Amino acid sequence: MEEIVAGDSVSIAPGIVRITAPNPGVMTGPGTNTYIVGQRELVVIDPGPDIGSHIDTLRAAVGERLKWILCTHTHLDHSPAARALKDATGAQIAGRIASQDGRQDAAFAPDRILNDGDTVRADALTLRAVHTPGHASNHLCYLLEERRMLFTGDHVMQGSTVVISPPDGDMQAYFASLEKLLALDLAALVPGHGRVIERPHDEVRRLVVHRLKREQKVHDALTRKNPATLDELVRLAYDDVSERLHPVARRSLHAHLIKLANEGRASETVSGWVPR
Ligand SMILES: [Zn+2]
């Protein structure tokens, strides 16, 4: 399996180049993937973090041909480079705004707000926005219609689990947005972190099963330790996950509990979370 190296231009399909930003980490895997789509006219999907060397690499790659800068969402590893890239190229920025929760790129200023189903065109290519809230309320996937390739941002990642951080992150919405992908005719998933995923529907079904298993584990833990705090629950329900990751897992745990509460299967009391 090819290793992902930050700054390398990798052709993942004719007319589609991946350049990974130098921001590897627990949340970002090998780094954030920026994609450049097209030939005469170009579209950038997720310009990435505001890191000078990454922006320089993108500028050199797109030259004078950049028409659109599309952002899947506005977490700090996905959209902040949009401004500098727009200033350098005159391209237009498109995406959606999220309410501030301390994790958003506050400077994000799209020229065009995209709604579910809206399309952006460059040359003969069509990119269709698919609203997929869950990881972030403003999350969009982009379907390259002519190739049936779906750019998934952080809705589906390769090699790491997507974190759902309430209140902007919403587990119920995440499940619904995974189901939404099953209704699309897809050839591949092209994630914001990691490598291209073949057999898209198999992967989406695997993710749904994984989340349902975790949800059951959360509910079981809640039944055993009743009432329980988030810190107690994370040790029980994420005992298969490295303790180093528990502060992050705690956020997805909270998202699971909110979903269970909304479904009448748990509730938060003064002494902690209890099962229903
Ligand atoms: Zn994100």
Of 177, 198, 219, which closes a domain?
198
Q: What is the pLDDT of residue 27?
A: 87
Q: 159-172, pLDDT tens digit by residue?
A: 889 999 999 999 99
- Which amino acid would we find at residue 224? R
CA of residue 74 to ligand 1 center, whole Å: 7
pTM over cut 0.85: yes
Task: Tell me which residue of 61, 52, 115 sits closest to 83, measured CA to CA.
Answer: 52
Residue 159 shares a structural domain with residue 71 = yes
The mean per-residue pLDDT over the stretch 57-73 comes to 97
Residue 264 shares a structural domain with residue 173 = no
HSE-up (13 A, CA, CB side) for residue 139 = 26
The mean per-residue pLDDT over the stretch 137-150 comes to 98
CA of residue 140 to ligand 1 center, whole Å: 11
The mean per-residue pLDDT over the stretch 12-26 comes to 95
- Which amino acid would we find at residue 212? L
CA of residue 110 to ligand 1 center, whole Å: 17
Residue 180 within any structural domain of the chain: yes
Q: 111-124, pLDDT tens digit by residue?
A: 999 999 999 999 99
Count of structural domains, the chain = 2
Q: pLDDT band at residue 1, thresholds of 50, 70 and 90?
A: low
Task: Tell me which residue of 135, 141, 87, 134 sits closest to 114, measured CA to CA.
Answer: 141
Of 149, 165, 198, which closes a domain?
198
CA of residue 79 to ligand 1 center, whole Å: 10
Residue 184 shares a structural domain with residue 87 = yes
Is the pLDDT at 238 greater than 90? The verdict is yes
Q: What is the pLDDT of residue 7?
A: 92
> What does the alpha-carbon distance between residue 205 and residue 167 come to, in Å, rounded to a whole number?
25
**What is the H or E stretch that residue 30 is in?**
none
Q: ∠241-243-244 over CA atoms, to 5°?
A: 110
CA of residue 69 to ligand 1 center, whole Å: 17
Q: ∠200-206-210 over CA atoms, to 5°?
A: 145
Residue 193 shares a structural domain with residue 248 = no
CA of residue 141 to ligand 1 center, whole Å: 12
